[in-house]
Structure 1
Amino acid sequence: MSTQEQNQQHQDKLAVTERTRHRRLREQGSTDVADLDAVLRAGFVCHLGVVVDGAPMVVPTVYGVDFGARTLYVHGSVASRSLVRAPEQTVCVTVTHIDGLVLARSVFEHGVNYRSAMVYGVPRAVTDGDELLHGLRVVTEQCAPGQWEYARRPSRKELAATSLLALPLTEASVKTASGPPEDGDGPDGELGLWAGVVPLRSYFDAPEPDPVLPAGIALPPHVAALGAGSSGS
């Protein structure tokens, strides 16, 4: 294997650390960067774990990823204690998607089909004006593609009231689970009980206009596209 191929292979794999090593259910783990990106790309809400005043705090917030720069941006208010303290320490950001309930014949074999990622690191507070705007655009576009160009941009006062953390995607763990129950071939398979998967799918419903929206303002195409999955497909 050439040096270039080795470097490419290294870039395609996540480094394994003591925090990210898969110790349980290793078959559900992955070290592929593509799998990490897929989990992060599929959502826009994360949970930020940080220690505040000696106690753990886990805060739900929105995020966006600059995949080219391998940077995860976490958005919040300057009044948020978690975001103020986070740049001082190692944090853990988690993203989870639930795909269904696995209902087996025995309670012990019940489970959840899911996709999840945990990202560790010491984030930095984004203070550069250009990067702050870039990071806010990344977060906005991850939530609602097209909205950054459509809506009014943040004012200086609004930017001053906004906190943005940047976390490198250099230390992460990915796990996924899928498929039916695994007790069909054992003794429980003879119990005559129903078993299977109850899928869980999430989608945006049809957009609902602001009650005070003046007549004649059309629904922009990019927002209509968000609600295109309202049929549940």
Structure 2
Amino acid sequence: MTHPRPSPSLAPSSRTRVRRLPDRAHYDFDTVAAVVDASRLCTIAFAWNGSVHALPTAHWRDGDHLYIHGARASRMLQALVQDECCVSVARVDGLVFARSAFHHSMNYRSAVIYGRFEAVEDAAAKEAALRAFIERLAPGRWTQLRPVSAKEVHATTVLRLPLAEASVKIRDWGVKDDAEDMDWPVWAGVVPLDVVTGPPQTDPASVVGAAPAVPA
């Protein structure tokens, strides 16, 4: 099923329209996809049995959809195909130090996506989605692994959510202080934050010593 891509300048729905600081808003597909791709973890808010939950889970993108996976018995996965939800993804890129506490801030990228997940039922499509997940972790790794079994594919639920109803907020600039504070004797500026990979910790029983290349 093909879903329309977000307009570059118009919110796809009233609930995605950014009202607080709308100058930071983006609605185009490429920006939404870039923020989704920049993180490996999303938070999904959903209702289940009269209660509200917000749970973090691994995600990946393939084309126009955000994908998640888990055990068939997962209450979250069961709930997500029955009703709508809200998915959020965020990355902090820097700490903004101003001359007053009021103007301290963060540089960030965040996306909010609304909709209802659909299950990927076809076994071949499900395996292809899982392959995309592994390849996102380390390109080329899927072909190096022991082939996935039909039992494993059956035991895994894969859901996907279209990125059609989404919005992004981005702050990526420096300090904005009041004019009367500019001479205050304190350091002002941005401290960038980034995610880096650490040294691989090889399993003692691993028959291969070289670790896979992991993208940031």
TM over 0.5: yes
2:188 aligned residue: 195
Q: Does 1:20 align with 2:8?
A: no
Q: CA deviation at 1:158?
A: 1.8
TM-score when normalising by structure 2: 0.90
User: Identity of counterpart residues, as a percentage?
Assistant: 39
Residue identity matched to 1:165: L
Question: Which structure would you say has the larger RCO, counting Cα contacts within 8 Å and 6 or more residues apart?
Answer: 2
1:110 aligned residue: 104
Q: Does 1:91 align with 2:85?
A: yes
Q: What is the CA deviation profile of residues 94-126 of structure 1, one whole-angstrom value per residue up to 9, with x for unaligned ones? A: 111110111111111111111111111111122
Q: Does 1:171 align with 2:162?
A: no
1:5 aligned residue: none
Q: Secondary structure at the match of 2:52?
A: strand
Q: Counterparts of 2:38 and 2:26 in 1: how far apart (Å)?
A: 17
Q: Counterparts of 1:138 and 1:131 in 2: how far apart (Å)?
A: 11
Which segments of structure 1 move beyond 2 Å, counting only runs of 4 or more?
10-16
1:226 aligned residue: 214
1:209 aligned residue: 202
Query: Aligned match of 2:116 in 122, 125, 133?
Result: 122
Q: Counterparts of 1:26 and 1:12 in 2: how far apart (Å)?
A: 15
Q: CA deviation at 1:144?
A: 2.1
Q: CA deviation at 1:15?
A: 4.7
Contact kept, 8 Å, 1:15 with 1:170, in 2: the verdict is no
Within a 5 Å distance, the mapping from 1:152-167 to structure 2 comes to 152-167=146-161
Instruction: Note the residue ranges of structure 2 that are not aligned, 5 or more in a row.
Output: none
Contact kept, 8 Å, 2:6 with 2:28, in 1: the verdict is no
Return closer, same or farther for 1:147/1:17 CA change in 2, 3 Å cut-off.
Answer: same
Instruction: Note the residue ranges of structure 1 that are not aligned, 5 or more in a row.
Output: 1-9
